Structure 1
Amino acid sequence: MAGRHGADRRINKDEGSGMDPAISQYLLYVLVLSVVFGGAAQFTRFCLLGGMSAYMGERDGGRMAVYLGAIGVAIVVTTLVQWFAAIDLDQTRPPYRTADFAWGRYLIGGLLFGAGMVLARGCPVRSLVRTSQGSLQALVAIVVMAVAAYAMTRTSLFQTAFLPWVGALSVDLTAIGIPHQDLAALVGGGPLVYGLIAAALAALLLAVSWRWLPLGGNGLAWFGVLLLGTAVGLGFWVTGGAPGQAADMASMMQTMPQEGLGTQSFTFSAPLGDVVYFLQNVDNTSTITFGVVAVVGVFLGSLVSALVRRDVQFAAPRAIGEWLRTVIGAAMVGVGAVLAMGCTVGHGLTGLSTLALGSMLSIASIMLGAWITLRIQRRRADAGCAG
């Protein structure tokens, strides 16, 4: 009887002791990659908006080169991971290669995200980096983005306000004999065609980046590009390979399965909403998803980099109008990111690394929305100066 009671006490202790070791190891891998990503994003000043703004204003392509180069590296590493680790990228979170080509979501969500990104002074990743550097404006933007993403993913907002009309703006590719939306499948090619397309696209992006950002004098920037792209590719290995499979098996044995498992890599749309949900359930470790760890890790990595480089300076806008633009823009980013199923990282790096057509349309829409908004802002500034 005493032995039975001792066994019962051990079982209860194990149940309340926290996370399964396999899941803990999985999340530790995610944390390491996220810290690396955040540090690299900080010291390279990784930002699509910053790159577009610099090129439109001074024809300086340096920051744009970092963004495009990271995509090129991500394509190479993700393709290698897919082949040599046998990772199935046709089943990801979110489903980048789905046969349901939701062009309405990609287009409308991307435009909304791009315009909001300009008003908020950055995308989610850039806002996390700026927060680590002491920007109160970026902190407010992150909070608003997270609340908006939470409303879109954890409440009935999307189902009631968006799904009834945006759900019809979609094409089922299987109806025309296309199993999924990666570029090779669209042209009816197999693994060889996929590899050739991936190599050609990566080479083009890296060549453009090299022209705008020569290696001489820019070694640190290129090191950051390598880290950013590699982190995305290894994210797929962690989640779809042995660590992710072990975590999934452990999760199935738990009373409360771990949320957010599945093959995936970095994106910061729905994950910001996951952070809000986790903060409401901090005593439930099953709510610690890939996205929650990624958000925390990127912030920590950026903070370490900023402290090492002495790049921390507390600042906040003084004008009420600037605060209002930040809140409105951040809300647009949060809603647009979930609507488009990705952001400048989720589609721009992770989605494009799978050669998904939807990610290409999304990132083009984001850039178009940002370009239009930047042009409007510049014209208003010019008119103000002329007046």
Structure 2
Amino acid sequence: MMEWIESLPTGQVSVLIGALTDLAFGALAQQSRFCLRAACVEFWRGDAGPKFAIWLLAFASALIATQLLILNGTLETTSIRQLTTTGSLSGAIIGGSLFGWGMVMARGCASRLLVLSGTGNQRALVAGLVVTLVSQATLRGGLSPLREWAGGLWLVDASARNLADRLPTWLPLIAGIALLAGGIYLARVHANRLWPSLAAVGVGLCIALGWGLTAWHASWSFDIIAVKSVSFTGPSADTLMGFINLPQLPLSFDIGIVVGVFAGAMLAAVASGQFKLQSFTEQTGLSRYLIGAGLMGFGGMLAGGCAVGAGVTGGAVMALTAWVALLFMWLNAGIADWVLERAPRPLEVAGPAPTAD
């Protein structure tokens, strides 16, 4: 089997790794209902409930498994772009803040929108396409000068990006175990069903699987292979633009992400009887989704990744900018939820009060 894989062209191996990793990610994310927005809303409303527990289980599992790969030498931090290049703290702060607002407005982060698209949710599909288009404009189009300006306000040298360098060797792993214990406790307190909780753990393990498989591929390939894991804003933008502009998509890990997650979510939804076509209605509205998706597209590219790409994938390797971006996503999601959903509204003028006869 290994000989057959190693005989394949580099692009085919990369897309195979991406597709298999993210086929599992899509299916498990759909079954667990993994979503940063839902977790944030629960948390900031004062009830760290079942959705928060699901996110915590996924994040902790990704952190533990990825740190184990680093500690045993399977994943070398010197090969990880988030730890070896200049980063942007201003990008993490501003981009994470915009992304936090956007995911509340669009009722789902970038990864959740792709997963929901696979279940037949047309609102998520439209919002996801807007995220993708704005991401591309932010990366290479008309919004790129604004991204470069905002990202250049506060840069951090590569030598300072790895938080693990400033901590005791085993502390990130121990922190991950503590977070996992917290997630298990909350899942039991709120009577989470066993399968969604296990699926959430599987979501986190898929993040580590992506890191491990791309590192393995890079270790024997004669070509330069980017060591990476699951992310959505950049890969989605490149996939869509390649589909529009090229007669044949170049094979890569990123192509496998988009196709794999969508297919995995669809297969899981169909198999579990949860596939259902849903569209915009007068109650759901449209403008809120579009504005939120635009904020996520720009914010995700500025922050260096989405709620998964920066928040979980980058957080699992202890990238400073990823943790800062995740923090500001959490903070601003709470602010956005309060402003949009819970803040007192001015009383409507209903006309003069009726007089007594």
- Aligned-residue offset at 1:209: 0.6
Given the alignment of the two structures, is residue 220 of structure 1 paired with residue 208 of structure 2, yes or no?
no
Maintained 8 Å contact 1:53/1:374:
yes
TM-aligned CA distance change 1:385 to 1:50, over 3 Å: farther
Of 150, 153, 157, which aligns to 2:136?
150
Could you tell me how far apart the structure 2 residues matched to 1:165 and 1:33 are?
Answer: 33
2:239 is the alignment partner of 1:275: yes
2:316 aligned with 1:353, yes or no? yes
- Identify the residue that residue 154 of structure 2 maps to in structure 1: 169
Q: Percent identity?
A: 26
Distance across 2 between alignment mates of 1:46 and 1:369: 19
Q: Deviations over 1:161-208 (max 9, x none)?
A: 2323531312336xxxxx342223135xxxxx22x1122210221122
Letter in 2 for 1:135: N
- The CA deviation at 1:289 is 2.6
Q: Determine if the alignment matches structure 1 residue 97 to structure 2 residue 71.
A: no
The answer on 1:28 being equivalent to 2:24 is no
Matching residue of 1:80: 68
Given the alignment of the two structures, is residue 333 of structure 1 paired with residue 296 of structure 2, yes or no? Answer: yes
CA distance in 2, matches of 1:105, 1:44: 30
Shift of 1:244: 3.4
Distance 1:85 1:30, change over 3 A: farther
Q: How does 1:1-387 map to 2 (within 5 A)?
A: 20-57=8-45, 59-92=47-80, 95-98=81-84, 100-155=86-141, 157-158=143-144, 160-172=145-157, 179-187=159-167, 193-194=168-169, 196-214=170-188, 218-241=193-216, 243-247=217-221, 249=222, 251=223, 261-285=225-249, 287-319=250-282, 322-380=285-343
Structure 1 position 263, deviation (Å): 0.5
Counterparts in 2 of 1:225 and 1:320: CA distance versus 1, 3 Å: closer
Q: Provide the rounded CA distance (Å) in 2 between the counterparts of 1:55 and 1:32.
A: 32
Question: Is this contact kept in 1: 2:14–2:251, CA < 8 A?
Answer: no
Q: Tell me the distance in 2 between the aligned counterparts of 1:155 and 1:97.
A: 26
1:329 Cα deviation (Å)?
Answer: 0.8
Q: Matched residues in 2 for 1:54 and 1:306: separation?
A: 24
- By how many angstroms is 1:72 displaced? 1.1
SS of 1:278's partner is helix
TM-score (norm 2): 0.88
Tell me how far apart the structure 1 counterparts of residues 48 and 283 of structure 2 sit (CA, whole Å): 31
Name the CA distance, whole Å, in 2 between partners of 1:386 and 1:374: 25
TM-score, structure 1 normalization: 0.81
Distance 2:13 2:327 in 1: 36
Distance in 2, matches of 1:201 and 1:246, equals 32
Kept in 2, the 8 Å contact 1:135–1:313? The answer is yes
Aligned amino acid, residue 24 of structure 1: Q
Gap change, CA 1:290 and 1:386, over 3 Å in 2: farther
Within 2, Cα distance between the matches of 1:60 and 1:66? 10
RMSD: 2.5
Structure 1 unpaired stretches of 5+: 1-18, 174-178, 188-192, 253-260
> Is the contact made by 2:15 and 2:254 (CA closer than 8 Å) also made in structure 1?
no
For these two proteins, the number of residue pairs brought into alignment is 343
Unmatched segments (≥5 aa) in structure 2: 1-6, 351-357
Q: Secondary structure at the match of 1:288?
A: coil
**Structure 1 residues 246-298: Cα deviation after superposition (integer angstroms, max 9, x where no partner):** 45x2x57xxxxxxxx4000011121111112220344344x333222101111
The 3 A distance-change label for structure 1 pair 365 and 300 is: same
For 1:171 and 1:314, how far apart are their aligned partners in 2? Answer: 45
Residues 306, 163 of structure 1: CA spacing in aligned structure 2 closer, same or farther, 3 A cutoff?
A: same
Counterpart residue type for residue 47 of structure 2: R
Contact 1:269 1:334 in 2 (8 A): yes
